[in-house]
A and B are shown apart, each in its own frame.
Chain A
Amino acid sequence: MVKQWFKSGSPWIWMTGGAVSISLISVIGLLAMIAWKGLSFFWPSEVVELKLEGSVPKQTVIGEIYDREMVPKSRLEAAGYDLSAYQDEYIERILVKTGNREYVDLDFRWILTTDIQSQTKPEAMAVFERSKNGNFYGYVERVIEDGKEVTNAPKERLVELVERAVDLNEEALDLQNGDIGHINYELERLRLKEKKYALDNALTDEVLADLESQRAELRAEYKVLEARLFELRKKAKRDQVVVRDMRGELVTLPIYQVLDLWFPNDMGFFAKLGHFFVQSGKFISDDPREANTEGGVFPAIFGTVFMVMLMAVIVTPFGVVAAIYLHEYAAKNAVTKMIRIAVINLAGVPSIVYGVFGLGFFVYMLGGSIDQLFYPEAAPSPVFGTPGVIWSALTLAILTLPVVIVSTEEGLSRIPSSVRHGSLALGATKAETLWRIIVPMASPAIMTGLILAVARAAGEVAPLMLVGVVKMAPTLPIDGNFPFVHLDRKFMHLGFHIYDVGFQSPNVEAARPLVYATAFLLVSVIIALNITAIGIRNHLREKFRSLEH
């Protein structure tokens, strides 16, 4: 009976069905895991106070529980722990993030649950998010405002003081990056101008005097701004807070280093939800701190979006024209066949090869020539002859060209030929038919192609590593300095940010949640783009199906 069942082939059908299940589980499981790990980063986790005694000296540890795992007792005993009092084959241990990086050796530590004497969640526990050295956990003891201790409702006052310092810091930063940055930029331009005059042999005394007067003006302006900056900083440094940490010692934290403060054990669900949204918002809008392992990813989002938009502007016309040629004009001959093979191959060539090509051809050859022709004064430092956002966009434009072509062509092939014939019969030329009838009808398909291309480009990292992405870009490709759009600048990218923070950062453990959050952001954008594209395509199919009958 079993033999016959096997002979019928039915088990093999189930096996193939199993393969589908595995694929589905892995796709959905993967997405769910990224979402869970990415989003839980923003949820305020409770801070526990652990009293330890046993294999470690008696002490108190305060921190967030990060991870749990079961370890065979034998392995722990081999590592030198005395666990003879316990019968279990496995001992649980937990990973605790203790923060307070400048006061303890390790801000992450493994603790055996057997050592834990008591575990509490004190409501007074405060978490300080700081601009340096990561989080700080402890109890607020005293709040010092302008040298005097606050006695009346210190905690509420503390929150206000933190807000005040954050505002002042922000103002100082705006001043530094905005006006002062502008002056530095102008000074650099004057330097290049002078060099250019010298190269052209036109550096007369008049020109020199003019340049010098401009410089003096800028320097005077700088002096004023600098004074204001120092004043703002001094103002921000006014207050302190005294905190008792897990060693039981009092630590004075300057409030200007505190970015945010919350009491996680004292929060209700809605308070936590609010905190979650505030943290998510900060993640999207803030600049990274501490070698990218903390803070937000705003420059990476900006860089990705800007580069992808630039790429879309380049790739769309070429892709659409090529698709129109293939579908409307191309004769059935060898050239057409070769073009089709070229499209297939452009889609199949590994992305790193595009990176190599982009680096050699665009950056060194094209960029190098542009520098020689138009920026001789900047030598020896290159302007366009170095990786930058324009070269990244161009490289990715070639990479995504087949996506746009294939998608547009599919859209064109769905337009019934009766529509074309009708237009031609009424006396329109082929070009008019195309421009007035076909392209508008195919525009959703073009849109689909464009969205798919954007999704592909947003996730591509390997070629960008060669042609323009950096781990930390000091300035955005768009700013308030003339000519406002700087196509030669290097930029940050979400995908590269994941690679860099996850694999190149000094403290991978601390950075991991941030990497998950970045990954979630990138994945959700790309999946959303893809689903939109598929939606448009399906809608289009339905529409033309009805047109045919």
Chain B
Amino acid sequence: MSISAQQKSFKTDKRRLFKDRFAQYSITAGGVMVLVALLLIFFYLLYVVEPILESAKVEKRTDVSLSSEKNYVGIGVEEQTEIAYLLEDSGSVDFYRIKGDSSGQLMKSLDVELDGNITTFAKSAPFLGLYAYGLDNGAIKLVKPSFLVTFPGNERLITPRIGYPLDGEQLLVDEQEQAIAKFAFSYYEDKAAAVAVTEDKRVVFAAFTPEENMFTGEVEWLIERTELDIDGRVNELLISPDTSRVFVRSANKVYIFDTRDPAEVEQFQVLAANEENANLVSATLLAGANSLMLANDNGEVSQWFEVNTEDNGRQFAKIRAFETEKTNKLDIYTEYYRRTFFTTTSSGDLGVYYTTSEAELWRGKISEQAIDTFAVSPRSNAVLSLSNNTLSVFEVHNEHPEVTWSALWNEVWYEGYPEPAYTWQSTSASDDFESKFSLVPISFGTIKAAMYAMLFAVPIAISAAIYTAYFMSSELRRVVKPTVEIMEALPTVILGFLAGLWLAPLIETHLPAVIALVTLLPVAVIATAFGWTKLPASIRHLIPDGWHSILLIPVVLFIGWLSFAISGQIELWVFDGNVRQYLTNELGLTFDQRNSLVVGIAMGFAVIPTIFSIAEDAVFSVPKHLSNGSLALGATQWQTLVYVVLLTASPGIFSAVMMGLGRAVGETMIVLMATGNTPIMDWSIFQGMRTLAANIAVEMPESEVGSSHYRILFLAAFVLFIFTFVFNTLAEFVRQRLREKYSSM
């Protein structure tokens, strides 16, 4: 070989070596990618779910020192949390920048136009964004700080303004024009109302309803005033935003008035609401205004809302209590829309709580001095606190306060419910609706559906597997096994469609047939078997052993036909001609057309091939010398099967059941189509359910990305993932062990 040829050959060898290495590395990378894919799914689901398990965070953004001459009584912030406004007791509004480079700068100071002298100040429910000054002439003036956003030269410019609702008109609360000492008000959906304590200690409720003048088209206010009867000094006044309830706190008592009809104000209830050995210090209404929050000086904050009682109809009742700081000045502030509340104390402590999930989200000291007043931003992503002439701005990260481990898995007492309950109700038409995310009913539904499916599938699949593997003649087995296994390929959407549109109505009209089938079939099989032994041997020998199942096909078909044929007769004799009525009236069972029985049968169908295939393999691969030995020692076929073969194959059968269960738990389309998808908790076979998988399929397309609902649906998927992961890994592990055992035998 010449040198150049040798060099060339080296070169090609090098290239070949390189190619070989390259192939090795890229194929290894491809193999590892499978693992990466599984891990990616796991971690991505976790990544989406994780924020709901995080607790809230409160971080200081900035401090703004204010002039010490002014006495601010109300604060607030606009949606972008760029500009804060402070309302002075003398009737002016100051706007400060609280974000960016010019943070701390006073932008503008505007005076409120008033007719009278200011005596007091009040704020509305946060979501209305209204403030009002009480005047010495018995009137109140509503003020609304607002922001005009413009884009001159493609840059956002926010201009603060003061708006005056009700066309700037002052509302005369007290007819006697006495100065107002304390008041509460609301103006929502064209209805205004106020409740006030006047200088001479009268408590006046006034409702203002607009009425359009038919001729001039001008709006006139129809005013109805009522004096409320209260014993003792009034400490606090509250009014619900829709003006339907008025709460008057006098020391430890809360008087509640029904003000839905302003012409006929009635006392609704009087609560002695303080905790044992404690006194009430403040009260406020939670967002949605169905709940009353009361703070005690021992640090306990209690939530009260209306529940149905047997004797007195709807009554306020104490639902739950939160432990906060023990202090004599404990104030409660609420968010715009969610049921979060904040507590502030005279020693500068802040607590963040969520009522429904009973969660303490955050607690800490935010100021060395007492907190004078406090406000939450419209998007609940920031809070302002005013103490000792310093305005502090905090960023709040609290996206999912309603979701906690206990709210997902324990009974929760929702507003308006008579008692704590497991409820899944993610959406509703109304705005102040509180989403109810309990995973218990849908997990229950998943287990129920899987259980009925397994109840149907396991006996049939395992019996069939045993027969096919152990008794059936080999030529028949070659046909039967693939036939059953092809069912695994059948799309579940077709099984679901048949279950929902064919099987469900069939079972509804022929319920007795199902009962007859279940009882008659085993009897008929045994009778056939016995009859077979009585036949002359010449006939019996025509059919070889291992063909029983073919012999039984006509029997099963006949029994099936018979059950349906006599269904009507059974219905007439046993159930008075109508099973459904009988079930409802005599047994007190509700009957849904799409019920657990239908799901059990349809989903059982879907898992039979899975269980059958694995169990059959397990039984078939039991070494023949074991069973032959047993038979040689005089055991019957059946004894050999039970004591030798099944015992040896039992781990394999277990693994088959696990695989089947994994499939039943995650099945979506069958459950979606064959049940009513109502999230109820009831073991009844005649009622439906909602499962985790079906729930995801129904609600995922319409859930908002990043919302609590979206993340909880991911959590449901994650639960399914973990569940099937555990079952599949366990099954695979058992199967591996079994394979090793067989190979050593």
| Nearest CB in chain A to that of B525: its residue | A18
Complex Cα spacing A411 to B487, Å = 23
| Nearest CB in chain A to that of B552: its residue | A21
| Nearest CB in chain A to that of B532: its residue | A14
Which stretch in B37-45, B229-237, B334-342, B391-399 binds the other chain?
B37-45
**Interfacial chain A residues near B44, Cβ < 8 Å:** 357, 360-361
Of B22, B26, B482, B659, the contact of A348 (CB 8 Å cutoff) = B659
Q: B484–A24 contact, CB under 8 A?
A: yes
Q: A18–B549 contact, CB under 8 A?
A: yes
**Interfacial chain B residues near A12, Cβ < 8 Å:** 638
**Interfacial chain A residues near B460, Cβ < 8 Å:** 19, 22-23
Of B23, B494, B608, B713, the contact of A34 (CB 8 Å cutoff) = B494
Complex Cα spacing A324 to B30, Å = 9
Of residues 88 through 123 on chain A, the ones whose CB sits less than 8 Å from some CB of chain B are: 89-90
Of B19, B483, B492, B497, the contact of A28 (CB 8 Å cutoff) = B483
**Interfacial chain B residues near A69, Cβ < 8 Å:** 509
Of residues A27, A34, A343, A512, which shows the largest number of chain B Cβ atoms within 10 Å of its Cβ?
A27
**Interfacial chain B residues near A70, Cβ < 8 Å:** 568
Q: CB of A166 within 8 A of chain B?
A: no
Q: A430-455 toward B: CB 8 Å interface, digit per residue (1/0)?
A: 11101100000000000000000001
Complex Cα spacing A70 to B568, Å = 9
**Interfacial chain B residues near A2, Cβ < 8 Å:** 530
Q: A351–B19 contact, CB under 8 A?
A: no
Of B34, B489, B532, B700, the contact of A322 (CB 8 Å cutoff) = B34
Q: A342-360 toward B: CB 8 Å interface, digit per residue (1/0)?
A: 1111111111111111011
Which stretch in A56-64, A124-132, A497-505 binds the other chain?
A497-505
Interface size class of B (residues with CB under 8 A): 35 or more
Q: CB of B521 within 8 A of chain A?
A: yes
Complex Cα spacing A519 to B497, Å = 9
Q: CB of B402 within 8 A of chain A?
A: no
> What is the distance, in angstroms, from B190's C-beta to the closest C-beta of chain A?
33
Q: B650-674 toward A: CB 8 Å interface, digit per residue (1/0)?
A: 0000000001001101111100110
User: Known: A18-B549, A322-B30, A503-B673. Contact between A349 and B721, CB under 8 A?
Assistant: yes
**Interfacial chain A residues near B714, Cβ < 8 Å:** 356, 360
Q: A495–B491 contact, CB under 8 A?
A: yes
**Interfacial chain B residues near A534, Cβ < 8 Å:** 482
Q: A17–B23 contact, CB under 8 A?
A: no
Q: CB of A185 within 8 A of chain B?
A: no
Complex Cα spacing A72 to B483, Å = 39
Of residues 254 through 302 on chain B, the ones whose CB sits less than 8 Å from some CB of chain A are: none
Of A17, A341, A495, the contact of B493 (CB 8 Å cutoff) = A495
**Interfacial chain A residues near B27, Cβ < 8 Å:** 321, 324-325, 328-329
Of A352, A503, A531, the contact of B500 (CB 8 Å cutoff) = A503
Q: CB of A224 within 8 A of chain B?
A: no
> What is the distance, in angstroms, from A351's C-beta to the closest C-beta of chain B?
7
> What is the distance, in angstroms, from A29's C-beta to the closest C-beta of chain B?
9
Of B34, B494, B521, B665, the contact of A346 (CB 8 Å cutoff) = B34
> What is the distance, in angstroms, from B83's C-beta to the closest C-beta of chain A?
27
Q: CB of A85 within 8 A of chain B?
A: no
Of B32, B48, B497, B530, the contact of A498 (CB 8 Å cutoff) = B497
User: Known: A350-B668, A350-B724, A466-B701. Contact between A339 and B467, CB under 8 A?
Assistant: no
Q: CB of A459 within 8 A of chain B?
A: yes
Of residues 178 through 217 on chain A, the ones whose CB sits less than 8 Å from some CB of chain B are: none
Of A348, A429, A456, the contact of B662 (CB 8 Å cutoff) = A348
| Nearest CB in chain B to that of A12: its residue | B638
Q: CB of A462 within 8 A of chain B?
A: yes
Q: A5–B34 contact, CB under 8 A?
A: no
> What is the distance, in angstroms, from A454's C-beta to the closest C-beta of chain B?
11
User: Known: A431-B24, A522-B494. Contact between A20 and B489, CB under 8 A?
Assistant: no
Of residues B459, B525, B662, which shows the largest number of chain A Cβ atoms within 10 Å of its Cβ?
B525
**Interfacial chain A residues near B639, Cβ < 8 Å:** 9
Complex Cα spacing A72 to B582, Å = 15
User: Known: A13-B467, A325-B28, A430-B23. Contact between A349 and B486, CB under 8 A?
Assistant: no
Q: CB of A11 within 8 A of chain B?
A: yes
Q: CB of A326 within 8 A of chain B?
A: yes
**Interfacial chain A residues near B662, Cβ < 8 Å:** 348
User: Known: A350-B665, A502-B501, A523-B491. Contact between A345 and B725, CB under 8 A?
Assistant: yes
Q: CB of B404 within 8 A of chain A?
A: no
Q: B185-214 toward A: CB 8 Å interface, digit per residue (1/0)?
A: 000000000000000000000000000000
Of A18, A338, A347, the contact of B35 (CB 8 Å cutoff) = A338
Of residues 487 through 538 on chain A, the ones whose CB sits less than 8 Å from some CB of chain B are: 495-496, 498-499, 502-503, 508, 512, 515, 519, 522-523, 526-527, 530-531, 534
Of residues B16, B493, B501, B578, which shows the largest number of chain A Cβ atoms within 10 Å of its Cβ?
B493
Q: B490–A459 contact, CB under 8 A?
A: yes
Of A21, A74, A326, A328, the contact of B549 (CB 8 Å cutoff) = A21
Q: B704-745 toward A: CB 8 Å interface, digit per residue (1/0)?
A: 010000000110010011001101110010000000000000
Q: CB of A75 within 8 A of chain B?
A: yes
Interface of B is mostly: helix
Complex Cα spacing A357 to B721, Å = 11
Q: B19–A431 contact, CB under 8 A?
A: yes
Complex Cα spacing A20 to B525, Å = 12
Q: B24–A16 contact, CB under 8 A?
A: no
Q: A353–B467 contact, CB under 8 A?
A: no
**Interfacial chain B residues near A465, Cβ < 8 Å:** 697, 701
Q: CB of B426 within 8 A of chain A?
A: no
User: Known: A22-B460, A526-B490. Contact between A499 and B48, CB under 8 A?
Assistant: no
Complex Cα spacing A328 to B28, Å = 10
**Interfacial chain A residues near B669, Cβ < 8 Å:** 461-462, 499
| Nearest CB in chain B to that of A8: its residue | B636
> What is the distance, in angstroms, from B130's C-beta to the closest C-beta of chain A?
33
| Nearest CB in chain B to that of A435: its residue | B23
Complex Cα spacing A502 to B26, Å = 47
Q: A14–B525 contact, CB under 8 A?
A: yes
Q: A502–B497 contact, CB under 8 A?
A: yes
Of residues A14, A498, A531, which shows the largest number of chain B Cβ atoms within 10 Å of its Cβ?
A14
Of residues B27, B33, B612, B724, which shows the largest number of chain A Cβ atoms within 10 Å of its Cβ?
B27
Q: CB of A43 within 8 A of chain B?
A: no
Q: B533-563 toward A: CB 8 Å interface, digit per residue (1/0)?
A: 1000000000000001111110111001000
Complex Cα spacing A355 to B355, Å = 34
**Interfacial chain A residues near B521, Cβ < 8 Å:** 18, 22
**Interfacial chain B residues near A530, Cβ < 8 Å:** 486, 489
Of residues A328, A343, A431, which shows the largest number of chain B Cβ atoms within 10 Å of its Cβ?
A431
Q: A14–B724 contact, CB under 8 A?
A: no
Q: CB of A401 within 8 A of chain B?
A: yes
Q: A345–B728 contact, CB under 8 A?
A: yes
Q: CB of A460 within 8 A of chain B?
A: yes
| Nearest CB in chain A to that of B695: its residue | A352
**Interfacial chain A residues near B16, Cβ < 8 Å:** 429, 432
> What is the distance, in angstroms, from A76's C-beta to the closest C-beta of chain B?
11
Q: B724–A345 contact, CB under 8 A?
A: yes
Task: List 12 extra interface pairs beyond A351-B666, A357-B45, CB under 8 A.
Answer: A12-B638, A13-B638, A20-B549, A72-B578, A335-B32, A348-B728, A350-B665, A350-B668, A431-B22, A495-B494, A499-B669, A523-B491
- A-B CB contact pairs (8 Å), 13 listed: A22-B521, A22-B556, A25-B560, A74-B577, A342-B35, A342-B38, A349-B724, A353-B720, A431-B24, A465-B697, A519-B494, A527-B486, A530-B486
In order of increasing CB-CB distance, the 5 nearest A-B pairs are A350-B666, A9-B638, A325-B31, A459-B491, A321-B30
B interface residue numbers (CB < 8 A to A): 16-17, 19-20, 22-24, 26-28, 30-35, 37-41, 44-45, 48, 459-461, 463-464, 466-468, 471-472, 480, 482-484, 486-487, 489-494, 496-498, 500-501, 509, 521-522, 525-526, 528-530, 532-533, 548-553, 555-557, 560, 568, 571-572, 577-578, 605, 608, 612, 636-639, 641-642, 659, 662-663, 665-669, 672-673, 693, 696-697, 700-701, 705, 713-714, 717, 720-721, 724-725, 727-729, 732
